[in-house]
């Protein structure tokens, strides 16, 4: 366990562990709705799912401001990210390149993150939604790029109205935030290009 002063180790083999995790993330966002395993290469700090920690260690650095819930920002997770990624932890959701939210918490809304602008839609926030599970919840049917026909997912532990927010995000396309639903060592991609067809 981690006490207040101790920062856990990052990758033991940064080159290959980050490469493996990146390929899982690339597969997750290019085939939305399929859960991918990011591995258990590190011991995540309190408050971050293992997949969240691996994804941020793989992608974040001094160029990418990160938004965390206040409790995480001021706790070991914030210290861990500052130390390993050198990333700035920002207070305004709209300034973040990456954000971590609790899927069950009512705030912040997805719309408070940066959706990019029409000439640079790539400057939007990638939001990691830590949820109670990637199956066993309310079934939602997806369609769009990366999906042959339809795909049904049922992540658990998401706040009421979450899917309406996701639908609202998809209507902004090609703007919008990109979501990764994470639980344990797994991540499931929901990029802005994915449409919700059979919600609720």
Partner 1 sequence: MTVHQSISDDAKPAYNYAYLDEQTKRMIRRALLKAVAVPGYQVPFGSREMPLARGWGTGGIQVTAAIIGPDDTLKVIDQGADDTTNAVSIRRFFERTADARTTEATDEATIIQTRHRIPEAPLKSGQIMVYQVPQPEPLRKLEPHEAETRKMHAWAEYGLMQVKLYENIARFGEVTTTYDYPVMVNGRYVMAPSPIPKFDNPKMQMSPALQLFGAGREKRIYAVPPHTSVRSLDFEDHPFRIQSWEQPCALCGAADSYLDEVVIDDQGGRMFVCSDSHHCETRRAEGHRGAMLADASALHLVEDKP
Binding site for partner 1 (CB under 8 A): 14-16, 18-20, 22-23, 25-27, 29-31, 58-61, 63-64, 97, 118-122, 124, 126, 144-148, 173-174, 178, 191-193
Nearer to partner 1, 30 or 106 (CB): 30
CB 4, min distance to partner 1, A: 26
CB 36, min distance to partner 1, A: 12
The full length of the chain comes to 200
Nearer to partner 1, 3 or 118 (CB): 118
Closest CA to 54 of 98, 93, 110: 98
Nearer to partner 1, 62 or 160 (CB): 62
DSSP 36-67: EE----S-PPTTS-HHHHHHHHHH-STTS-EE
The number of CA neighbours under 13 Å toward the Cβ of 77 is 22
For the chain, how far is it from start to end, CA to CA, in angstroms? Answer: 40
Nearer to partner 1, 46 or 152 (CB): 152
Q: Is 50 helix (H, G, I), strand (E, B) or coil?
A: helix
CB 31, min distance to partner 1, A: 6
């Amino acid at each position: 366990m981690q006490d207040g002063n101790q920062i856990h180790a990052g990758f033991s083999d940064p080159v290959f562990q980050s490469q493996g995790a990146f390929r899982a993330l690339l597969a997750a966002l290019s085939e939305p709705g399929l859960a991918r395993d990011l591995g258990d290469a590190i011991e995540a700090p309190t408050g971050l799912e293992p997949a969240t920690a691996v994804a941020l260690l793989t992608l974040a650095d001094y160029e990418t401001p990160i938004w965390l819930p206040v409790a995480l920002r001021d706790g070991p997770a914030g210290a861990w990210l500052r130390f390993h990624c050198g990333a700035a932890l920002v207070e305004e959701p709209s300034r973040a390149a990456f954000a971590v939210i609790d899927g069950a918490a009512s705030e912040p809304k997805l719309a408070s993150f940066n959706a990019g602008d029409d000439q640079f839609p790539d400057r939007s926030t990638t939001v990691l939604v830590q949820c109670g599970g990637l199956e066993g919840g309310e079934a939602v049917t997806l369609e769009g790029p990366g999906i042959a026909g339809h795909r049904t997912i049922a992540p658990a532990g998401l706040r009421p109205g979450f899917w309406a927010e996701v639908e609202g995000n998809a209507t902004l396309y090609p703007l919008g935030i990109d979501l990764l639903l994470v639980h344990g060592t797994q991540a499931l991609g929901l990029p802005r290009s994915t449409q919700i067809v059979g919600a609720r």
